[in-house]
């Protein structure tokens, strides 16, 4: 791997392999689910032009994504619309990232995510140096330190995708953006991969990996010839 990390199921000290990590996730989420939220939350999310529809990337798919992206200790990962925080916690328990952050608009889903994070901390399961779960609108969040951004965007409106891509296009070149639907306008992002990963709503669902390249160097203007 190109980054200073090992595969998440073999970390050198025997602390976690894939099966024990899966068991830990089941323990953390034994009584937590994000599939049903109060009607007032649904209305509030729609009023902010968000999507209240819920779905999850499954455990094995997160594991594959970690390996494919070669996530390492210098990475800062954001999950936009993180629900009850399953992806955030799985990554934070598998890889010693610099920071792992989830942003979720639904108060009840955020509450469930916070409960799971509290359990993970009590059990000493986290490997990421920082792990945060934030309640709010990701369109208003500061993402400036992100190196990897994931979003389950299958039900996002075209308008939201346009706004999101424009926001992400202002971030640091080299940023990798993983999304479950094609953006309407890429705003300079380059597609570098298309994966097929199992999700809660469909097996082998398409997942697209984009990269924000450095800005193209400006060509020098030809010198003005002032000769008669």
CATH code of the domain containing 28: 3.40.50.150
Any domain includes 1: no
pLDDT the model gives residue 7: 42
pLDDT the model gives residue 49: 84
Task: Give the C-alpha separation, 147 to 78, whole Å.
Answer: 8
Strands 190-197, 148-151: pairing is: unpaired
User: Rounded to 5 degrees, what are φ and ψ at 134?
Assistant: -115, 135
Other beta carbons within 10 Å of 218: 6
- Domain enclosing residue 24, as ranges: 18-211
Which of the 8 DSSP states describes residue 151? Answer: E
Any domain includes 180: yes
Report pLDDT digits (tens) over 105-156. Answer: 999 999 999 999 999 999 999 999 999 999 999 999 999 999 999 999 888 8
Any domain includes 30: yes
pLDDT-based confidence at residue 15 (cuts at 50, 70, 90): very low
Domain count for the chain: 1
> Is the pLDDT assigned to residue 9 strictly greater than 50?
no
Task: Give the C-alpha separation, 52 to 62, whole Å.
Answer: 22
Task: Give the C-alpha separation, 136 to 73, whole Å.
Answer: 26
Q: Which of 60, 62, 68, 64 is nearest to 2 (CA)?
A: 68
pTM: 0.86
Report pLDDT digits (tens) over 67-107. Answer: 999 999 999 999 999 999 999 999 999 999 999 999 999 99
Any domain includes 225: no
The residues facing 193 across adjacent strands are 209
Any domain includes 3: no
Task: Give the C-alpha separation, 26 to 120, whole Å.
Answer: 11
Any domain includes 66: yes
Any domain includes 136: yes
- Give me the residue label for tokens 């108060």: 107
pLDDT-based confidence at residue 227 (cuts at 50, 70, 90): low
Any domain includes 37: yes
The number of helix segments (H) and strand segments (E) in the chain equals 6, 7
């Amino acid at each position: 791997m190109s980054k200073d990390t090992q595969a998440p199921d073999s970390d050198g000290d025997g602390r976690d392999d894939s099966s024990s990590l899966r068991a830990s996730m089941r323990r953390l989420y034994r009584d937590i689910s994000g599939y049903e939220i109060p009607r007032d939350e649904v209305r509030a999310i729609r009023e902010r032009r968000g999507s209240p529809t819920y779905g999850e990337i499954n455990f094995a798919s997160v594991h594959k994504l970690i390996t494919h992206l070669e996530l390492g200790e210098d990475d800062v990962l954001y999950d936009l619309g993180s629900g009850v925080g399953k992806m955030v916690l799985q990554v934070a328990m598998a890889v010693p990232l610099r920071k792992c952050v989830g942003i979720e608009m639904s108060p009840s889903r955020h509450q469930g995510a916070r409960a799971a994070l509290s359990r993970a901390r009590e059990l000493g399961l986290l490997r990421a140096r920082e792990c945060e779960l934030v309640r709010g609108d990701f369109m208003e969040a500061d993402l400036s330190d992100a190196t990897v951004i994931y979003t389950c965007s299958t039900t996002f409106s075209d308008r939201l995708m346009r706004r999101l891509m424009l926001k992400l296009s202002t971030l640091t070149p080299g940023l990798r953006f993983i999304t479950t639907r094609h953006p309407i306008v890429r705003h300079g992002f380059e597609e570098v991969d298309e994966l097929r990963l199992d999700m809660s709503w469909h097996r082998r669902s398409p997942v697209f990996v984009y990269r924000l390249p450095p800005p193209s160097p400006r060509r020098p203007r030809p010198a003005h010839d002032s000769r008669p």
